[in-house]
């Protein structure tokens, strides 16, 4: 099984992920052990929160590439960022300060957990109208979403890709986000699952356990779609859900 992860904080010294090269290597060991073979590195990007971290991300990615090439030659690495939504975020991509997912048209974006529905709709619409496709990070963690499946459906119908965190499915972030994931999965609203891993111990990758959970409760095809086929399609700049 070759799983695909499009959202994690494995690069070191960029954000709230690993602080040292050694910690990054431990996280990569855990990621490989978790059956991930396609890994898009997505440090947080917002100059107001983590500073201008693109050069730090470049250096960290180079070191990671050397480590992975030697130890895990079948692990494929890609560049990306998790953008905190801002009115200027499309310009950040166009100017090369941060990356869309594998430099495709798909952009991993998050909002404050307390963001109102209007803010999420306006923000994702502005990304769509600039010609990019928002992949909305950990949808289950927005206060608005937990209560309103119609809101998720409308976002999705509007072209937003819906991502949930593997650990939310397993209940690590509490009953509310787990229940929200279950409801979205039952309604077929989830496009992809990602680790959002931050370390090998705290917030570790858990996508293979999530895969098993989805397979058991929602079927083999759905588990494959959200953990393999859909995220892989995005890496190739193809629409998820289309063969
Ligand atoms: Fe994240």
Where exactly are the structural domains of the chain? 3-235
- Residue 46 CA, ligand 1 centroid: distance in Å: 12
Q: How far is CA 79 from the centre of its chain?
A: 12
Token output for 104: 């495709």
Phi/psi at 95 (5° precision): -85, -5
Summary mean pLDDT of the chain: 95
- Residue 7 CA, ligand 1 centroid: distance in Å: 6
- Residue 196 CA, ligand 1 centroid: distance in Å: 5
Dist CA 178 CA 103 (whole Å):
31
Is residue 47 packed enough to be buried (19+ CB in 10 Å), middle (13-18) or exposed (0-12)?
middle
Instruction: Output the CA torsion sign for 154, 160, 161, 166.
Output: negative
- pLDDT of the residue at 145: 77
> In sequence order, which residues have a C-beta less than 8 Å from that of residue 218 and are 6 or more positions away?
185, 186
Q: Taking residues 124-146, report their average pLDDT.
A: 93
What are 3-26's pLDDT values in tens digits? 999 999 999 999 999 999 999 999
- Residue 154 CA, ligand 1 centroid: distance in Å: 23
Dist CA 37 CA 88 (whole Å):
33
- Residue 59 CA, ligand 1 centroid: distance in Å: 20
Q: Is the pLDDT of residue 243 over 70?
A: no
pTM over 0.85: yes
Q: Is the pLDDT of residue 146 over 80?
A: no
- Residue 9 CA, ligand 1 centroid: distance in Å: 6
- Residue 58 CA, ligand 1 centroid: distance in Å: 18
Q: Taking residues 174-190, report their average pLDDT.
A: 95
Report CA dihedral (95, 232, 20, 12) to the nearest 10 degrees.
20
Question: Among the CATH numbers 3.20.20.140, 3.90.1150.10, 1.10.357.10, 3.40.50.261, which is that of 3-235?
Answer: 3.20.20.140
- Residue 166 CA, ligand 1 centroid: distance in Å: 12
Dist CA 39 CA 6 (whole Å):
6
- Residue 226 CA, ligand 1 centroid: distance in Å: 17
Whether 80 contacts 231, CB under 8 Å: no
Q: Is the pLDDT of residue 34 over 60?
A: yes
- Residue 6 CA, ligand 1 centroid: distance in Å: 10
- Residue 114 CA, ligand 1 centroid: distance in Å: 16
Q: Taking residues 227-233, report their average pLDDT.
A: 98
- Residue 39 CA, ligand 1 centroid: distance in Å: 14
- Residue 200 CA, ligand 1 centroid: distance in Å: 15
- Residue 8 CA, ligand 1 centroid: distance in Å: 6
Whether 41 contacts 18, CB under 8 Å: no
- Residue 209 CA, ligand 1 centroid: distance in Å: 19
Dist CA 228 CA 213 (whole Å):
15
Dist CA 215 CA 199 (whole Å):
26
Nearest residue to 210 via CA among 167, 161, 181, 146: 167
Phi/psi at 69 (5° precision): -60, -35
3-class state of residue 97 by DSSP? coil
- pLDDT of the residue at 242: 63
Query: Where does the pLDDT of residue 31 fall: very low under 50, low under 70, confident under 90, or very high at 90 and above?
Result: very high
What are 47-74's pLDDT values in tens digits? 888 888 999 999 999 999 999 999 999 9
């Amino acid at each position: 099984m070759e799983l695909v992860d499009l959202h994690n904080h494995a690069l070191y010294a960029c954000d709230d992920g690993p602080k040292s090269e050694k910690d990054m290597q431990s996280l990569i060991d855990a990621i490989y052990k978790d059956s991930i073979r396609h890994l898009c590195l997505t440090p947080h990007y917002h100059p107001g929160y983590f500073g201008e971290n693109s050069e730090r991300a470049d250096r960290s990615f180079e070191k990671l590439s050397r480590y992975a090439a030697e130890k895990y030659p079948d692990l494929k690495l890609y560049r990306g960022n998790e953008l905190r939504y801002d009115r200027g975020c499309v310009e950040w991509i166009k100017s090369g300060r941060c990356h869309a997912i594998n430099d495709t048209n798909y952009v991993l974006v998050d909002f404050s957990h307390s963001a109102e529905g209007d803010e999420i709709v306006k923000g994702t619409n502005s990304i769509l109208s600039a010609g990019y496709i928002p992949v909305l990070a950990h949808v289950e963690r927005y206060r608005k979403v937990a209560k309103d499946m119609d809101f998720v459906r409308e976002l999705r119908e509007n072209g937003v890709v819906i991502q949930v965190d593997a650990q939310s499915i397993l209940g690590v972030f509490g009953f509310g986000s787990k229940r929200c994931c279950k409801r979205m999965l039952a309604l077929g609203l989830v496009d992809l699952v990602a680790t959002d891993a931050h370390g090998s111990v705290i917030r570790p990758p858990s996508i293979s356990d999530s895969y098993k959970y989805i397979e058991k409760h929602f079927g083999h095809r759905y588990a494959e779609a959200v953990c393999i086929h859909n995220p892989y399609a995005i890496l190739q700049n193809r629409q998820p859900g289309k063969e």
